Structure 1
Amino acid sequence: MAAVGRWLAAAGLAGLACLAQAQKAYDTGASDSEIKIGNTVPYSGPASAYGTVGKAAAAYFRKVNAEGGINGRKIRFVSVDDAYSPPMTVEQTRKLVEQEQVLLIFAPLGTASNAATQKYLNMKKVPQLFVSSGAHRWGDPEHFPWTMGWNVSYLTEGHIYARHILANRPQAKIAILYQNDEFGKDMLRGFLDGLGDKGKALVVAQASYELSDPTVDSQMISLKSSGADTLVDLSTPKFAAQAIRKAAAIGWKPVHYLANVSSSVTAVLKPAGLDNAKDILSAAFVRDPSDPRWQGTREQADFAAFMKQYYPEGDASDALNVTGYSMAQTMVQVLRQAGDNLTRANIMKQAASLDMTLPMLYPGIKLKTSPTNFHPLAGMQMVRFNGSGYDPVGGVIGQ
């Protein structure tokens, strides 16, 4: 009888072990010990200022691994350079999926770059998760169920600038500088839609530029000659800095609205000249770590400590590092929620059921998703640059 009892006990334990094992589910890139994540970001090329976003995310994953990982698993983050070039993004993404065999693509940066890989990743049913771009196309679960954005939609941001101008400068003469790609056109469309039919009459000039252009000097001279007293600047960091410098050089002092993607004090305003950038208006959804108002807060202290320990070569005053840090925190939350069911389908299910705050989001802004809402962030805070940091203007819009 004792032997039978021991046999039954052993069988019971074996059954429990099998049940526990059965509850685990993995797709390519996941195992009992590891979660393999792919990423493309421009470490070189015309948008290399954004490379620090990938480095900050990698640093946060190192922090998570040092603290024991996620549900006992370490994150293996494979981040590669695509030089902000869509053909290179396609090539690198295929390597990550087919050769590196990652579980998912996380925070790939750039609008045109990710548009080039969106159909491929959806066909492969590989999550293209938390795209680092505000293009409206990242929030279309009906047609692209494996793609989700992270940034506030460019359409929403454009609307916010339009609402601010209509409320505060109803007689403005508006000139618009925009990048001639999906990023610039999305933002432009949102801005013009936000102005409405009557408001569109306020626009007196538009000028676009190509990523391959050496400068935007000629565009700025042309926009000034229109007689505009308000500049809506929908450009990426390199060209935004050029536009700010050129406006000062030609003695043009319009009320200057600057796209969030180029609002970094470190990456854009300092190279442009802080005096030249004074009074620029933008919209924020993450805290600027260079802003004195956040000094002394626990959130800022934790971020500074993280940078010092895990990314000491990075600039702790650069808001782009806050973006990488915050996106990685979002990814970690999804993986924690997924538990032992690390299938690609469950990853997307968990990503579509978020309701959270993040330490370095601007106060009053939440991150929320659902099966029909693939735009996690919707609110922004209008801000004005005071020469050293940004002051809030009004309250959060669009949350």
Structure 2
Amino acid sequence: MITRRSALMAAVATSALVAGPALAEDPIKIGNVMPYSGPASAYGTIGKTINAYIEMTNAKGGVNGRQIEFISYDDGYSPPKMVEQVRRLVEQDEVTALFQTLGTPTNTAIHKYINAKRVPHLFLATGAAKWDDPENFPMTMGWQPSYVVEAKIYAKYIMDNMPDAKVAMLYQNDDFGKDYYNGFKEGLGDKVDMLVAEAPYEVAAPTVDSEVINLKASGADVFIIIATPKFAAQAIKKSAEIGWEAQRFLTNVSLSVGGVLKPAGFEASKGIISAGYLMEEGDAQFADSPELLEWREFMAEWYPEGDVTSSFTVFGYSVGATIVHTLEMAGDDLSREGILAAAASLKDYDAPLLLPGILINTAEDDFAPIEAMQLQKFDGESWKRFGEVITVD
């Protein structure tokens, strides 16, 4: 049996994670690709958390009497490498389903291929709106709220609370960044002239310092950071260093306290607004939550190397529970068809660590599992939620 620790070590040594007993009779093979290296490597902890969750599930007897074999490879956040690794999972490893493959540009590279192969492509680690298109891509389903919805939430808040604001935006120059960019402009509607400056950046760039300096020069008093963790931390730190006293907004994908705000500096991060849908360690309201207590116990036993201050470990735990729940719903039909049917029939599923009032729902014509968020502000130590849960259909 491959143990939890040996599997995690294998991720470093061979760029692959394999959870569960590789020699188990008739396991449920679930494939995954994560950026364990490269510019988005901060997200690698999501894959490691999922691996640990499946190890725990297998130790408890697995799902419907069967063990789960979780096979996870590294793509370095590179679309060509993602294609290579997914072909390996489908054509060599013969996985039953793909799960939580990470990244908008990387998943775009395999979108048509995986649908042509009729392999379930479930609960992607990306909020691009295009994953909710069951008519044209019936095998692909997202999990988190869409970037377009999140961007519209920020636009509405700014128009309602800062009607005379001048907005500057830093965004990643790919499908990920453009989804937010277009969603924000759509949310502004006839107030689109509030966006006075914009600066795209490339993932191959070493820093975004020059972009931040140029955006400040625009005179904007609102700064929206559409970036993955490495560049988000740089933008937060630089904007503070140059004394740019703008109200900053940060994408949900980079709100991790341990993975982003700590490297940027807690004082430098103070006052940032984001939108969330998961509980956070350090939130006083949930200090005694049974769900967070259970998650802490899980982390201590199954992933002690993991960072409990990172929202990515919370994310990995919650989405890990979602795939296990889906497999349980499939019952004895753990074929590709059976698993996809179960994923498309989730009804008011209260995945662990979702904020109160947020539930997962899917249907044959609705592949957007989570469609609600709540605004929150970082006080220098933790995120503090405010306002009501905002649901977008």
- Does residue 321 (structure 1) correspond to residue 307 (structure 2)? The answer is no
Corresponding residue of 2:336? 344
Q: How does 1:283-322 map to 2 (within 5 A)?
A: 283-322=275-314
Per-residue deviation at 1:32? 6.5
Q: Secondary structure at the match of 1:36?
A: strand
Aligned equivalent of 2:145, options 127, 143, 152: 152
- Tell me how far 1:146 sits from its aligned partner: 0.4
Q: For 1:39-54, what aligned pairs fall within 5 Å after superposition?
A: 39-54=32-47
Please report how far the alpha carbon of residue 292 of structure 1 lies from its aligned counterpart in structure 2 after TM superposition.
3.3
TM-score by length of 1: 0.91
- 1:289·1:317 contact (CA, 8 Å) conserved in 2? yes
Aligned twin of 2:202:
210
Structure 1, gaps ≥5 residues long: 1-28
Matches within 5 A, 1:241-390: 241-355=233-347, 356-390=349-383
Pairing 1:83–2:76 present: yes
Match of 1:180 in 2: 173
Q: Is contact 1:265-1:290 (8 Å) kept?
A: no
Q: Which of 74, 97, 100 is the matching residue for 1:104? A: 97
Offset, 1:343: 1.5
Structure 2 distance, partners of 1:91, 1:274, is 39
Aligned residue in 2 for 1:189: 182
How big is each residue's C-alpha offset from its partner over 1:340-398, in whole Å with a ceiling of 9 and x where there is no partner? 11111121111010021112011111111011110100100100001111111201112
Residues 114-158 of structure 1, C-alpha deviation per residue, up to 9 Å, x if partnerless?
110111110000011111000111110011000000111011111
In 2, distance between residues paired with 1:390 and 1:75?
A: 35
TM-score of the superposed pair, with normalisation by structure 2: 0.92
Specify the alignment match of 1:235 in structure 2.
227
CA distance in 2 between counterparts of 1:318 and 1:241 reads 14
Look up the match of 1:57: 50
CA distance in structure 2 between the aligned counterparts of 1:374 and 1:324, rounded to whole angstroms: 19
**CA drift at 1:194:** 0.6
Which consecutive unaligned segments of at least 5 residues does structure 2 have? 1-21
Cα distance in 2 for residues equivalent to 1:317 and 1:265: 6
RMSD of aligned alpha carbons: 1.4
2:386 partner SS: strand
Q: Between the two proteins, what is the percent identity of the paired residues?
A: 50
Distance in 1 (alpha carbons) for counterparts of 2:336 and 2:67: 17
- The secondary structure found in structure 1 opposite 2:141 is strand
Q: Structure 1: which 4+ aligned runs deviate by more than 3 Å?
A: none
